[in-house]
Structure 1
Amino acid sequence: MTAPLPDFRSPTFLRQHLRDTMAFYDPVATDPSGGLYHFFLDDGTVYDTRTRHLVSATRFVVTHAMLYRTTGEARYQAGMRHALQFVRDAFLDPATGGYAWLIDWHDGRATVLDATRHCYGMAFVMLAYARAFEAGVPEARAWLAEAFDTAERHFWQPSQGLYADESSPDWALTGYRGQNANMHACEAMISAFRATGEQRYIERAEQLAQGICQRQAALSDRASASAAEGWVWEHYQADWSVDWEYNRHDRTNIFRPWGYQVGHQTEWAKLLLQLDALAPADWHLPCARFLFDDALAKGWDAVHGGIVYGMAPDGSVCDDGKYHWVQAESMAAAAVLAVRTGEPRYWDWYDRIWNYCWEHFVDHEHGAWFRILDGANRNHTREKSNAGKVDYHNMGAVYDVLLAIG
């Protein structure tokens, strides 16, 4: 007999799912010598004790802060502080204000493996500080301000109203521009404003949202993207003209894949409505509706269920894999839209996505979510968490739903 499905809209279920997900990491993740381990197999085995990635390091701060804010349990605040201290001790270069992208941690010492400065990484540094300040670390407010000032000084491009993406360790910019760093910077700015009330953060969030979801999205016109008109493309040249070929033949780049990311359309929908709750603007809701509705209409797999990863400008699926974060962000966006509009169809989407994730992504044996499945929902890797995952997206989505339903 099949067990009945949980009530996915229940705050009690959502809070418990946060605990259950973190429990996968709780017993094994903490490294007493500093920070947390970043690489886990499906059963929780740590398969790399030394490599540490800036995105994982900062996301552990965020996930622990969410658990502390949700439960009030001191162990989560302690975990957050442990993760936060490691970001500052192991990744921050005090001389430049920059953060290493990748390090080797051994015998309590960090060796930098990749010192490239990524705005994407800086966005998560700011998000970590904002969430830490909100969760009872008063000094994190000044650290947030310092990181914001560093990003403004080295990545911000006033003429474009967006952040550049990447630089050398001494802040020489490369020519690549990307929407993803700006999207997560927008997320960080929303959290920074929630935590501090400082107007500059929400003003920057609005500017980023307009730059990507209005100006850059308009470059996906009918002539160049017949099936994705008005969608957000990922990759741009230094002048913010579209780079249609970037990584076209490389499906392995987890941070810069080719094609329209279906999950980024829905993630922007969520962010636009979170922004609208703090600084309303007439364009937020129509844009959020369009991005979500069109993404689900074209990205939902009617045969196997779930939302596909990548779509080409002509509407063909260029990557039919199912990624955990795409489902999670879309589920959160559906809930935020349901609350904002009162339309039952968004709750229907929320339930449909959760049903799919409960069947295919939630690991009911070992805990947490599987990372990636193929188009037919088969798991081909034993890696539950590699660089960047740490279940930040799915835990964050549950947290966002809790915030949305009050």
Structure 2
Amino acid sequence: MPTQTSWTALESHRAWLDRGFTNVLWFVRGSIVPAGGFAYLDRNRRPMAGRTPELFLTARMVHTAALGHARGLPGCGGLLDHGLESLLGLFADTAHGGWFSRPEERTARKSTYDHVHVGLAASSAVALGHPLADRLMARVVEVVDTRLWDESAMALRESFASDWSDSEAYRGANANMHGLEAFLAMGRATGDAVWHERGLAIADRIINRNAREQGWLVPEHYDHDWHLLPDYNKDRPDDPFRPYGATPGHSVEWARLLIELHDSQLVHGPGWLVEAAEELAARALDDLWEADGRPGLVYTVDWDGRPVSTTRLHWPVCEAIQASASLYRTTGNWHWERWYRALWDHAAAFFIDAEGTWINELDDDMHEGGTVWPGRPDVYHCGGALTGPVLPRT
């Protein structure tokens, strides 16, 4: 029987990934808004009417541009510099600390989801030795330690009034998942084990306890004491941040992050991390793929695994690609290599356009849609799919 070789070990596949990453960075190269931040683009690379620069999208651009700059891709340095200057300038709340989600909305609530993305951006800049990185990282650490982190719950709070009063009586898995992602990066960037310890505590609560109890569907919504709210937003199935039910894309995203925790050099990862990563990925891919009879992952399902929102988004596919690559590399189980190949075939068939850039959302006819996330606002998820599978383990 011939020896089987993972696609990630093939030079031809790695070259294909490199071309794809170059293509998506080409797509956003003209998105700089001179006053600060980046334009929210449509399918033709034009700024979408009525959309202004947003904090989490700016932070994601910094992270992705840092990946490109580290690979020697021309043009990424300008994106990186502009993004960091925007985070330290236009978006920064000099009166109360932290950042504005939209600079023109200075009295709007402060979102943990948005803020932890700044931690990811700062970490990526620190890894490059960027001259602005340490200043940004110091601000992130101060905000997380004094505002966002709840030591009694060992998890992140959700949102606040603009002056940090009025902590919202809601806790969300989404903000905590991206908090885990940021904490993993911050730990690698600073060498401080506290970030991976906090990340492990988040994962233990939401995945090892709560998702395990729900048959490996991830409970997303909780009250301020972390009691599950299973019917939260039942009338808003297409909400972009807090949809009702379980989100299969988040299951595979958590799986990717659990493997990163398992690989951590700063904490000893318990055995359940790999077990849970496999269970989450299996629930999403083996059980919920084509849940409504059409190719791919639906946006959300109910607690019995029945489809709720049947919209197809690109990011669950991107996260599943990264998770399956990580799981194969960790377990050696060819099942995950088969999924890795099938997911890329699916992406090539439905999400990657003729110019090599990515469609953000598909409608019920598997054509470009715009119900949940219209346009093509960022390249963070597809950038991860195109780089993550071949990044060295740390």
After TM superposition, the score normalised by the length of structure 1 is 0.88
Matches within 5 A, 1:127-142: 127-142=120-135
Residue 355 of structure 1: aligned partner: 345
Distance 1:405 1:239 in 2: 36
Distance 2:372 2:226 in 1: 35
Q: Which amino acid aligns with 1:94?
A: T
Q: Deviation of residue 354 (structure 1)?
A: 0.6
Q: Deviation of residue 152 (structure 1)?
A: 2.3
For the pair 1:217 / 2:211, whether they are aligned, the reply is yes
For the pair 1:201 / 2:188, whether they are aligned, the reply is no
SS of the aligned residue for 2:53 comes to strand
Residue 226 of structure 2: aligned partner: 240
1:99–1:115 Cα contact (<8 Å) kept: no
Residue 225 of structure 1: aligned partner: none
Residue 21 of structure 2: aligned partner: 18
Q: Deviation of residue 404 (structure 1)?
A: 5.2
Residue 249 of structure 2: aligned partner: 263
Change (3 A) 1:165 1:376: same
SS of the aligned residue for 1:177 comes to strand
SS of the aligned residue for 1:400 comes to helix
Change (3 A) 1:348 1:37: same
Residue 44 of structure 2: aligned partner: 43
SS of the aligned residue for 2:89 comes to helix
Q: Deviation of residue 246 (structure 1)?
A: 1.5
Distance 2:372 2:44 in 1: 9
Residue 381 of structure 2: aligned partner: 393
Q: Which range is displaced more, 177-186 or 132-141?
A: 132-141
Out of 308, 328, 340, the position equivalent to 2:318 is: 328
Residue 283 of structure 2: aligned partner: 294
Residue 78 of structure 1: aligned partner: 78
Matches within 5 A, 1:67-106: 67-69=68-70, 71-73=71-73, 75-103=75-103
Q: Deviation of residue 192 (structure 1)?
A: 1.1
**Uncovered stretches (5+) of structure 2, i.e. residues with no partner:** 1-6
Q: Which range is displaced more, 303-312 or 284-293?
A: 303-312
Distance 2:282 2:213 in 1: 20
Residue 136 of structure 2: aligned partner: 143
Q: Which amino acid aligns with 1:35?
A: G
2:161–2:167 Cα contact (<8 Å) kept: yes
Matches within 5 A, 1:150-169: 150-169=143-162
Change (3 A) 1:219 1:162: farther
Q: Deviation of residue 21 (structure 1)?
A: 1.0
Residue 34 of structure 1: aligned partner: 36
Distance 2:74 2:353 in 1: 26
Q: Deviation of residue 149 (structure 1)?
A: 2.4
1:14–1:402 Cα contact (<8 Å) kept: no
Distance 1:253 1:381 in 2: 12
Residue 272 of structure 1: aligned partner: 258
1:130–1:191 Cα contact (<8 Å) kept: yes
Q: Which amino acid aligns with 1:399?
A: T
Q: Which amino acid aligns with 2:344?
A: W
Distance 2:178 2:107 in 1: 21
* RMSD of Structure 2 on Structure 1 (CA): 2.2
Q: Deviation of residue 65 (structure 1)?
A: 0.6
Q: Which range is displaced more, 374-383 or 289-298?
A: 374-383
Out of 366, 370, 375, the position equivalent to 2:359 is: 370
Q: Deviation of residue 49 (structure 1)?
A: 7.7
SS of the aligned residue for 2:298 comes to coil
Q: Deviations over 1:184-224 (max 9, x none)?
A: 0100111112222122222222122112112332553xxxx
Residue 126 of structure 1: aligned partner: 119
1:338–1:346 Cα contact (<8 Å) kept: yes
1:370–1:384 Cα contact (<8 Å) kept: no
Change (3 A) 1:211 1:55: same
Distance 2:209 2:372 in 1: 38
Distance 1:63 1:385 in 2: 20
Distance 2:373 2:303 in 1: 31
SS of the aligned residue for 1:245 comes to coil
1:42–1:382 Cα contact (<8 Å) kept: no
Q: Deviations over 1:215-250 (max 9, x none)?
A: 332553xxxxxxxx2321111111110112221111
Q: Which amino acid aligns with 2:52?
A: T
Q: Deviations over 1:133-188 (max 9, x none)?
A: 11221442342232122122122222211111011112120111101111001001
Change (3 A) 1:50 1:240: closer
2:20–2:357 Cα contact (<8 Å) kept: no
Residue 330 of structure 2: aligned partner: 340
Q: Deviation of residue 311 (structure 1)?
A: 0.9
For the pair 1:66 / 2:54, whether they are aligned, the reply is no
After TM superposition, the score normalised by the length of structure 2 is 0.90
Residue 226 of structure 1: aligned partner: none
Q: Deviation of residue 64 (structure 1)?
A: 0.4
Residue 3 of structure 2: aligned partner: none
SS of the aligned residue for 2:75 comes to helix
2:363–2:370 Cα contact (<8 Å) kept: no
SS of the aligned residue for 1:320 comes to coil
1:339–1:404 Cα contact (<8 Å) kept: no
1:124–1:184 Cα contact (<8 Å) kept: yes
Q: Deviation of residue 50 (structure 1)?
A: 6.2
